[in-house]
Structure 1
Amino acid sequence: MRDPKKSAGGAHGRRGSKGSAPAASDPSNDGGYNAGMAVFSYIIGGIIVWSLIGWGLDYLWGTRWIVLAGALLGAVGGFYLSHMHGLTSSRKNADERHAPGAPSQDGEDNAK
């Protein structure tokens, strides 16, 4: 099955010259903002949900520390989920927009 976002630009061709702005549906335009919002929502959502679970357990058992453990567990779990979805990596190998992390194979510096 083909991705409709990827096939939309290739099937009809791109209009304009190289200097024109890419289409609004291009996923590379808003990836940083969307990824940041997703990481933020995973972490904040995890803190809220697990704090409420901890608060309920504190109420049932008469303790006062489980809500804090739940908040910490939610933050760690939210970061883990965002990492597993690939939202926290700083390098994008598929785009080839970032410089490689190692020197070139011939050992020469290619900077101009």
Structure 2
Amino acid sequence: MSRRNHTDKNASGDPRKRTGAPGVSAENGDGGYNAGIAVFSYIVGGIIVWSLIGWGLDYLWGTRWIVLVGALLGAAGGFYLSHMHGLTSSRNPAGGSGAASGPSEDGNSNAK
């Protein structure tokens, strides 16, 4: 008997096509707090990992600047991963701009 994990399915029902970052709920499209933590961890994690790689190369080659290049590369990589996971894009589920535009729906009842 095969057991399927129903939490990994996307809107089309295909479990292989996961969207979003790990830990970000698929039901809540805006991500909110979890998306912010995911973006932060991608960027900080990238800076730490690539700085350590740069530090190691600096130690091996006797230079002092590769650690800075590694930190910048890690930050750029973190932003890139955040963007590719859809965490940094502005999405409007209702199709609107999110800001009020035009007159209110109650008409002229508030006009004096």
TM-score (norm 2): 0.62
1:90 aligns with 2:90: yes
Larger mean Cα displacement after TM superposition, 76-85 or 30-39? 30-39
Please give the alpha-carbon distance, in whole angstroms, between the structure 2 residues aligned to 1:85 and 1:26.
12
TM-score (norm 1): 0.62
Please give the alpha-carbon distance, in whole angstroms, between the structure 2 residues aligned to 1:5 and 1:80.
23
Q: CA RMSD in A?
A: 3.3
Q: How many residues align?
A: 86
* Identical residues among aligned pairs (%): 73
Q: Which runs of structure 2 are paired with 1:36-55 in the superposition (5 Å)?
A: 36-55=36-55
Q: 1:33 to 1:57 in 2, by over 3 A?
A: same
Number of the residue aligned with 1:76: 76
Task: Return 5+ residue gaps in structure 1 as ranges.
Answer: 7-24, 102-108
**Quick check: which one's helix share is greater?**
1
Q: Deviations over 1:14-63 (max 9, x none)?
A: xxxxxxxxxxx883298210110000000000000000000000000000
Counterpart contact for 2:51–2:70, Cα < 8 Å: yes
- TM superposition shift of 1:3: 4.7
